[in-house]
Structure 1
Amino acid sequence: MTEKPLILEIGMGADVHGHDMTKAALRAVSDAIRHSSLTLFKAYKHPSQMRVEVTIAVPFPDQVNKQAVADALPYGTIEVTVIEGGLHDRGMGGKEDITLAVAGVKAFLDTEDHGFQLLDTP
């Protein structure tokens, strides 16, 4: 198997009034995948054959529902990792606090026996 990373997208999402880490994470993933069109995957293999790595950075990682994040992606085998990061702005206090999540979404595909060539970059 010759698996290569073919897509990397970064997204950002916020929950403005609820301190909901999963809601912010889902919005970050949505932001990331809206920037990509996966026509390459359909042209060479069915999109369900891709592997997708999702890394979410939020202030309270244990509060993210990883299955909900995985379910938000339409294709592939999804792996979700949640780490501490993002932003939790306590400046306004109470319901006005903002939770910000950052998502990195990487898609991989087995490129063996395809007619296209991927160039190695230095």
Structure 2
Amino acid sequence: MALKRMVLQIGMGTDIRGGEPTKAAVRALRDALWHNSLTVTHALGVDVDSMRVKVTIGVPHPEQVDHAAVLAALPHGTGTLEVVAGGLEIPTEDGRGVTLLAQAAAEVFLDLPEAVAGGRP
């Protein structure tokens, strides 16, 4: 068997008034996931929960992101999360708050037989 990337999903999320990195990160992942319907598992005859999802989030203040809260947004499969410095932090007009933007990439991998994954037997 070979782990093969089948899908790359991208999204953006915000916390308009609160400047909360976890909220923006969860919304970015949901944006990436909820604009797709992954039928590849059904087409290949594999269980949807066998997916392995590698999530990368770019957000200001990555150390403040609750990893468990972000991974809880995954509806299927098991996930790993890497949070890196990125996104945007835009001060509000009055200077008392920020709007925070996060980007997400979700890579979906399936463990496939070598013949299906493109390898040689």
What's the TM-score, normalizing by structure 2? 0.89
Any idea what the Cα deviations from partners look like across 1:72-120, whole Å, max 9, x if unmatched? 101111001100000001252213x210000000000012177xx4569
Provide structure 1 residue ranges, at least 5 long, that are not aligned to the other structure. Answer: none
Aligned to 1:13: 13
Matched ranges for 1:1-122 at <5 A = 1-43=1-43, 44-90=45-91, 92=93, 93-95=95-97, 97-112=98-113, 117=116
Residue 27 of structure 1 aligns to a residue in which SS?
helix
- How many angstroms does 1:3 deviate by? 1.0
Residue 69 of structure 1 aligns to a residue in which SS?
helix
Q: What residue identity is the alignment partner of 1:20? A: E
Q: What residue identity is the alignment partner of 2:51? A: M
Runs of 4+ in 1 over 3 A off after TM superposition: 117-120
Residue 94 of structure 1 aligns to a residue in which SS?
coil
Alpha-carbon separation, structure 2, partners of 1:42 and 1:80: 25
Provide structure 2 residue ranges, at least 5 long, that are not aligned to the other structure. Answer: none
Alpha-carbon separation, structure 2, partners of 1:74 and 1:105: 12
Q: What residue identity is the alignment partner of 2:7? A: I
What's the TM-score, normalizing by structure 1? 0.88
